[in-house]
């Protein structure tokens, strides 16, 4: 698949999920490098920068995307010839992809330990990292139930319930607004993350902040499953995480909107959960308090956002 096609699929949500888009971008850069030709290495690198920009411009929130692109692009920096640069990009991309998959699996093992027999676990959206915790707990023989939200307007909850069903995990599907109604049944909330700021604020699918608030009110543990490339190092230097606002047509059809010209439809797809509502963040290096976000950025400085 061409890099431009991958970029289009990320933009239109055919490829989605913070970790998945990061791996798809790394793969796209590697494939692009394979066939890209230029008169000299400087021109080749500049073409690669243009291609990277196309991927960076697809979705603004999930920091995994620029972090992945950065590690791949950085690998070609010292290359003196095109074949050398191509080789470096290929190695960096495949190493990012495999370490990303390993990170999800490692988080699954850690997260599974928090799920006990008889638990009811609530999850929101369709996070591979959060699902890894649930699937590993099931593989470990744990007997528990999941409550999954629908996740308007993209219905990512439908993907989640399919996966849970296929794994034989008993699941209840609820509408997004029913979380407070059901919270008394819930023992643990596990969600994923698109970006984590230096102060431990977690940006994730719209609705996550409300769920965290309700969990906090009911003293239900709230856990975020997030690989280290979900941490946003540029927040150290004051850059804020942008919340993507998508087309109103995803929420209300153009026909209905045309009849209601005074109604503005808003469609932010992420929100922010402050660290005070988060008990733990599970990374591939272990469980941390959200207040330790800086330590992850300091100890793993490979992830840097491109400007």
Binding site for ligand RI2 (CB under 6 A): 16-20, 62, 125, 127-129, 156, 191-194, 204-205, 269
The residue among 45 and 210 lying less far from ligand RI2, judged by its C-beta, is 210
The residue among 13 and 236 lying less far from ligand RI2, judged by its C-beta, is 13
Closest CB 199 distance from ligand RI2, rounded Å: 19
- CA–CA separation, 20 vs 262, rounded Å? 38
Closest CB 32 distance from ligand RI2, rounded Å: 22
Closest CB 97 distance from ligand RI2, rounded Å: 13
Query: Which DSSP string do the residues of 177-215 spell out, in sequence order?
Result: GGHHHHGGG-SEEEE--SEE-TT--EEEETTHHHHHHHH
Burial class of residue 95 (count of CB atoms within 10 Å of its CB; 0-12, 13-18, 19+):
middle
The residue among 128 and 171 lying less far from ligand RI2, judged by its C-beta, is 128
Closest CB 192 distance from ligand RI2, rounded Å: 3
The residue among 62 and 69 lying less far from ligand RI2, judged by its C-beta, is 62
Residues whose CB falls within 8 Å of the CB of residue 251, separated by 6 or more in sequence, listed in order: 152, 153, 265, 266, 267
R_g of the chain computed on alpha carbons: 20
Instruction: List the catalytic residues.
Output: 125, 194
- CA–CA separation, 157 vs 95, rounded Å? 30
- CA–CA separation, 44 vs 81, rounded Å? 9
Token representation of residue 1: 């698949």
Closest CB 131 distance from ligand RI2, rounded Å: 8
The closest alpha carbon to 269, from 106, 164, 125, belongs to 125
The answer to whether the beta carbons of residues 281 and 293 sit under 8 Å apart is yes
The residue among 20 and 79 lying less far from ligand RI2, judged by its C-beta, is 20
């Amino acid at each position: 698949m061409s890099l431009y096609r991958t970029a289009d699929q990320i933009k239109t949500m055919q490829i989605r999920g913070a970790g998945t888009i990061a791996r798809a971008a790394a793969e796209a850069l590697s494939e692009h490098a394979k066939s890209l030709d230029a008169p000299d290495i400087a021109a080749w690198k500049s073409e690669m920068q243009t291609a990277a920009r196309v991927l960076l411009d697809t979705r603004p929130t999930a920091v995994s995307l620029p972090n992945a692109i950065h590690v791949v692009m950085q690998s070609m920096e010292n290359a003196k010839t095109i074949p050398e640069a191509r080789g470096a990009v290929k190695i960096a991309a495949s190493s990012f992809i495999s370490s990303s998959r390993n990170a999800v699996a490692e988080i699954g093992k850690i997260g599974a330990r928090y799920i006990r027999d008889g638990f009811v676990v609530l999850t929101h959206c369709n996070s591979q990292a959060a699902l890894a915790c649930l699937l590993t707990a099931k593989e470990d023989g744990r007997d528990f139930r999941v409550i999954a939200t629908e996740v308007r307007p993209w219905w990512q909850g439908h993907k989640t319930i399919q996966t849970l069903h296929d794994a034989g995990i008993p699941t209840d599907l609820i509408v997004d607004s029913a979380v407070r109604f059901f919270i008394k049944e819930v023992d643990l909330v596990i969600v994923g993350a698109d970006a984590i700021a230096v102060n431990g604020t977690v940006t994730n699918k719209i609705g996550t902040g409300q769920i965290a608030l309700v969990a906090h009110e009911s003293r239900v543990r709230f856990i975020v499953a997030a690989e280290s490339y979900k941490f946003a190092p540029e927040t150290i230097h004051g850059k804020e995480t942008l919340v993507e606002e998508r087309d109103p047509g995803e929420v209300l059809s153009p026909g209905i909107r045309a009849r209601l010209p005074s109604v503005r439809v808003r469609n932010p797809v992420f929100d922010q959960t402050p660290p005070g509502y988060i008990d733990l963040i599970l990374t591939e290096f272990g469980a941390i308090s959200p207040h330790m976000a800086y330590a992850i950025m300091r100890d793993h400085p490979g992830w840097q956002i491109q400007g």
